[in-house]
Structure formats: structure tokens, C-alpha cells
Amino acid sequence: MRPIKFRAWDKEDKEMCYAFGMGCPQDINSIFKSETLIWMQYTGLKDKNEIDLYEGDIICKKLEKRAEGGGWICGSHGYYPENSEVIKWNKDGMFETDKHPCENLGRTLHFGMDYGIGTDYKKIGNIMENPELLEDK
């Protein structure tokens, strides 16, 4: 079972707060009703560097760079913003990404890890602190 934890974007201070877990001594109802915080839940998944992934995180799969006329530039493997995806909840209560709305992100990453595929996913930012990563999407 995954740990239940949250982070929150503070709209007033423009910073991310990570010190929120279900073991928090504060009244949980008053915390979630805050109008200055935007809540994001931990997915239970980690990227290739073992960094926790939350909803709103921007992940990137290591791919070759796209050529201007289409296709791929050989030997250019890297993490490029145009290959990025945003983690979000779907209507069925599963995590997915904006580019793959019908796939269960947990199954994709865990299945991929078994075959060395998921190790290519890297967190490159989040939608609140790094909106510039979404400009080309």
C-alpha cells in the first residue's frame, strides 16, 4: 500500500509545501478547506532517480529529439520538453498523463520498470513552479 501524502502550492507565497501527510496533527478538514492552497496527491510512484511523483508533476520520457521536418534525430537521446507529460487524476480515480489519458500511469511505469522502459521517465518539474515547460505543448 502506498503512503498517503500531499503537497500544496501556496498561491500567496508562490511556493510548494511538502510537509503534509495523513499523520499530520492538524485538523485535516481545516487544512483541505484552505483557499490559498492547491492540493496535489502523491501517486505512490517514483521516477528514474527515485523522486516521488505527485499529480501536477511534469515527467519526460527519454527519447530522440524530433527533427523539424518530422521524424527523429538519431543519437540525440535526451529529456526534451516536447516529450513531457503532466500527471493528473482521471475520472476513474487513477493517475494518468495528459498525452495518454486512457492509460493507468502506475501500470505503465511499474510494467516498464520490469523491462527497463520505465527507467527512462524523469521528473523535470511541475505545473506550478515550471509553467514554462508547458509553453510548447
Q: What is the pLDDT of residues 37-82, one digit of tens each?
A: 898 988 888 888 889 999 999 988 776 666 676 665 666 667 666 7
Cell (9 digits) for 70:
518530422
Condensed to tens digits (0 to 9), the pLDDT of residues 82-118 reads 778 888 887 777 777 777 665 556 655 544 444 344 4
- CATH class for the region spanning 5-134: mainly beta
Give the residue, 48 or 26, on which the prediction is more confident.
48
Which phi and psi angles does 93 have, rounded to 5°? 80, 25
Grid cell of 9 as nine digits? 502550492
- Name the DSSP letter for residue 72: B
- Is residue 65 classed exposed, middle or buried when 0-12, 13-18 and 19+ CB atoms within 10 A define those classes? middle
C-alpha 25/C-alpha 65 separation (Å) is 47
Taking 80 as the threshold, does the pLDDT of residue 31 lie above it? Answer: no
